[in-house]
Amino acid sequence: MTLAYVSDDTAFHRLDPRTKLCWQVGFAAAAYAYTTPRGLAVLTLVAVGSLRLAGGGLRDLWSYRAAFPVLAVAPVVAGATLGSPWVRPDRAADTALASYRVLLILVVAAGYVRSTPVRDSRAAIQHTVPGRSGQFLGAGVALVFRFLPLLRRDLTAAREAVRARAGAERAVTDRIRIVATAGLDRAFERADRLGTALAARCFAWNPTLPRLAFGRIDGPVLAASALLLAAAVWRVA
């Protein structure tokens, strides 16, 4: 399952995208400030609640499965030493908390992606960052959101093709090389087609974007975002 926007009428779908960006910033700041098990336990409830309010669930996190092995192995690598005592539990525990913190941020990000159309994300960035810089960032974000799922689909198709041709009998390095080469070929091909399509459609740096407006529901979320950010600053200070 690829994480993408899903049309719905949840509380998060009705939020202004700028409000959702502020919420992510506030949550990320709080996650990096409150690193104790108790603090992360409270933030877990907040992160899960955010995803649920966007109509999502655990199935939406499957799109981040490539990051799970890294987050799981990181504490083991951090805690291992080349000599006595061989294992440093304190280092492993600190890294485990850091990995879990990243996982919580991914949960909140999943709620944002699921509840925010690509055009709204671009509009939010261009409304927030003035001038050509905002236009460049907005266009970049829009392209990433639209084409990253396609590139992942290409890699999956290449891996399945290798498997269908008895690729399991090959060495792991050969399989990685074949899939990576096929993925890069498709990525460059898509980039060429994208450039041609943009030129043919007279790509505009400042297109007509959807109108954004804050509503009543945005007020409490913006206040909660500011509270999380203030709590993070107070904790660090």
| Residue 30 or 69, more confident | 30
Q: Are residues 96 and 128 in the same domain?
A: no
Question: From the CA atom positions of the chain, what is the Rg in Å?
Answer: 21
Tokens found for residue 91: 């280092």
Q: Per-residue confidence at 206, pLDDT binned at 50, 70, 90?
A: low
Q: Are residues 23 and 94 in the same domain?
A: yes
**1 has a pLDDT exceeding 60:** no
In a domain, 96, yes or no: yes
Answer for the pair 10, 115: CB distance below 8 angstroms, yes or no: yes
pLDDT tens, residue by residue, 53-88: 998 888 878 777 777 888 888 888 888 877 777 788
Give the residue from 221, 227, 222 showing the smallest Cα distance to 34.
227
Q: Are residues 112 and 136 in the same domain?
A: no
Q: Per-residue confidence at 198, pLDDT binned at 50, 70, 90?
A: low
Q: Are residues 106 and 129 in the same domain?
A: no
Share of the chain above pLDDT 90, in %: 22
Region 94-99 average pLDDT: 88
pLDDT tens, residue by residue, 174-188: 777 777 787 777 777
Write down the pLDDT at residue 172. 73
**Residues 60, 150: Cα–Cα separation, whole Å:** 17
Q: Are residues 41 and 156 in the same domain?
A: no
Region 103-107 average pLDDT: 91
In a domain, 62, yes or no: yes
In a domain, 39, yes or no: yes
Mean pLDDT, the chain, rounded, equals 81
In a domain, 154, yes or no: yes
pLDDT tens, residue by residue, 217-236: 899 999 999 999 998 989 87
In a domain, 153, yes or no: yes
Region 153-163 average pLDDT: 76
